[in-house]
Amino acid sequence: MSFPEKFFWGGATAANQCEGAWNVDGKGPSTADHMTGGDYTHPRTFTTTIQPGTYYPSHESIDHYHRYEEDIALFAEMGFKMYRMSINWTRIFPHGDDEKPNQAGLDHYRKVFECCRRYNIEPLVTMSHYEFPYSLSEKWNGWADRRTIECFVRYTKTIMNEYKDLVRYWLTFNEINISLMGIGDTMSLGMFPKEGAALMSAPDMSPEACTRRFTALHHQFIASALTVIEGKKINPDFRFGCMIAGNMAYPFTCNPDDVMQAWQQNQLSNFYCGDVQVRGEYHPLTDKLLKEHNARIIMEDGDLDILKEGHVDFYSFSYYMSSCTSTDPEQTKTAGNMMFGVRNPYLKASDWGWQIDPVGLRVYLNEVYNRYKVPLMVVENGLGAADTVEGDGSVHDSYRIDYLRSHIREMEKAVEDGVDVIAYTMWGCIDLVSASTGEMKKRYGFIYVDKDNDGNGTLNRSRKDSFYWYKKVIETNGEDLD
Ligand code: BG6
């Protein structure tokens, strides 16, 4: 058996994509609550006011807020050892900068964690997953303003104090590196969007916009480091991780220019944020990157010491796909998880155009482990696909099982390569709202949720074939993948 005895098998969700109850029990609006539904061909857009008659998927989502007990019981039935979930900042501090936390929000997550503990499921908690207090977005332009650091640390200290006996593993920011690519301006950095702006619209790459973006990201780094520093005082047993959108870029040809381009892309995408958060120092390519954009990072004295002290304990990442990179502008592009590249002729793609590459996961795990030598967690991996419900209610999702099996096999090979992988939490273990398209049709779950793209459905839960398959995988600690 290759997987370590105490390997954390499990699944992952994010509050804004599953909780619903967007304005219940004192919760304030977040940036995610202002994002409309969309689909593969129609982008999600931001509206500065909530428009009557417009569909906002986060408002009800799959109503995990009220159904968490049923959902966690299903996770336990599969044998989950870990449940990765996020806390919605605006459930705790409705405006982001409130003096006192919202007690109803604190009580809610206490109940969720107690429920996990009853089933011996270890919670892995993301403190910020693609939502930001709308009020701070409007007032301060999100993370562009340094004052946001103080508000975030007040929030993280509050939840760490509150749950210090219930939660041990924390991730500060989800996919923090997507801001480097510009598409994280609102999703991750909480910067106030223009009315009607599309979620994936081309970012402003002017020197001013780049300075604002790199500085906002720096503010997140400081907030993450201060959270780690404060957290270790609250409970020295806490373990913190960074969370990176894993990007495996291959050179399209063996032309050394393509090879160099792929190398640089991988360095920046996977290690720029990784270096700051794991090593506590900026990547060697930082100055060159800033020069290319004619930008700078606005820092204060002492910031670099904070980063050094507040480094994380482990590296976690999402992995869905790989892409190629080419110096030839004529090459065909592929869609992807917050990243876009050149199509790889050796790979098949999902119905949403994400190229399926299990071997890339093994390469990625080895690359990251060789650089940092810290434990790794695969905290997102999975296949977004349209499912068909049969007359008897069953869902035969063999395509999902194939995807997961091939990735777990490659992860096992990485363990045999000597990589210290400690967790695998499959993304969207229960069907939820897609982050990029805002639709329900793009399903990842082991558990089917009866709801469609327009918000119709009973919200009833049912087990897909993959549910029984994953149960067996966990039971045998990854030995039986058939
Ligand atoms: C990751 C995000 O980028 O990919 C998740 O952390 C997201 O929030 C997941 O849901 C899958 O992407 P999508 O767009 O298919 O939901």
Q: Which atom of ligand 1 is nearest to the CA of 433?
A: 16
Q: For all residues of the chain together, what is the average pLDDT?
A: 96
Query: Which mutation among 434, 439, 440 tests ligand 1's pocket best, with the greatest number of atoms within 8 A of CB?
Result: 434
Tokens of 268: 């920046």
Instruction: Give CA angle at 440 (141, 75), nearest 5°.
Output: 100
**How far, in Å, is the centroid of ligand 1 from the Cα of 18?**
12
**pLDDT: is 333 or 445 the higher one?**
445
Residue 334 in this model has a pLDDT that exceeds 80: no
Q: What percent of the chain has pLDDT over 90?
A: 91
pLDDT tens digits for 267-305?
A: 999 999 999 999 999 999 999 999 999 999 999 999 999
**Protein residue closest via CA to atom 10 of ligand 1:** 435
Q: Which position among 380, 410, 412, 439 bears the catalytic label?
A: 380
Residue 456: pLDDT band (50, 70, 90) is very high
Is residue 175 among the annotated active site residues? Answer: yes
Task: Please give the average per-residue pLDDT across 216-222, as a whole number.
Answer: 98
Ligand 1 site, residue 426, Cβ cutoff 6 A: no
pLDDT tens digits for 28-50?
A: 999 999 999 998 888 999 999 99
Residue 338 in this model has a pLDDT that exceeds 60: no
Ligand 1 site, residue 316, Cβ cutoff 6 A: no
| Residue 451 pLDDT | 98
Specify whether the CB–CB gap between 14 and 86 falls below 8 A. Answer: yes
Residue 337 in this model has a pLDDT that exceeds 60: no
Q: Output Rg (C-alpha) for the chain, integer angstroms.
A: 21
In terms of DSSP bridges, do strands 421-427 and 8-12 run parallel, antiparallel, or are they unpaired?
A: parallel
Task: Please give the average per-residue pLDDT across 243-247, as a whole number.
Answer: 95
pLDDT tens digits for 78-99?
A: 999 999 999 999 999 999 999 9
Ligand 1 site, residue 145, Cβ cutoff 6 A: no
| Residue 393 pLDDT | 95
| Residue 201 pLDDT | 76
| Residue 180 pLDDT | 87
**Rounded to whole angstroms, how far apart are CA atoms 431 and 449?**
6
3-state SS of the chain is CCCCCCCEEEEECCHHHHCCCCCCCCCCCEHHHHECCCCCCCCCEECCCCCCCCCCHHHCCCCHHHHHHHHHHHHHHHCCCEEEEECCHHHHCCCCCCCCCCHHHHHHHHHHHHHHHHCCCEEEEEEECCCCEHHHHHHHCHHHCCHHHHHHHHHHHHHHHHCCCCCCEEEEECCHHHHHHCCCCCCCCCCCCCCCCECCCCCCCCHHHHHHHHHHHHHHHHHHHHHHHHHHHHCCCCEEEEEEECCEEEECCCCHHHHHHHHHHHHHHHHHHHHHHHHCCCCCCHHHHHHHCCCCCCCCCCHHHHHHHCCCCEEEEECCCEEEECCCCCCCEECCCCCCEECCCCCCECCCCCECCHHHHHHHHHHHHHHHCCCEEEEECCCCECCCCCCCCCCCCHHHHHHHHHHHHHHHHHHHCCCCEEEEEEECCECCCCCCCCCCCCECCCEEECCCCCCCCCCCEEECHHHHHHHHHHHCCCCCCC
Residue 339: pLDDT band (50, 70, 90) is low
| Residue 148 pLDDT | 98
Is residue 330 among the annotated active site residues? Answer: no
Ligand 1 site, residue 443, Cβ cutoff 6 A: no
| Residue 262 pLDDT | 96
Ligand 1 site, residue 35, Cβ cutoff 6 A: no
Residue 335 in this model has a pLDDT that exceeds 80: no
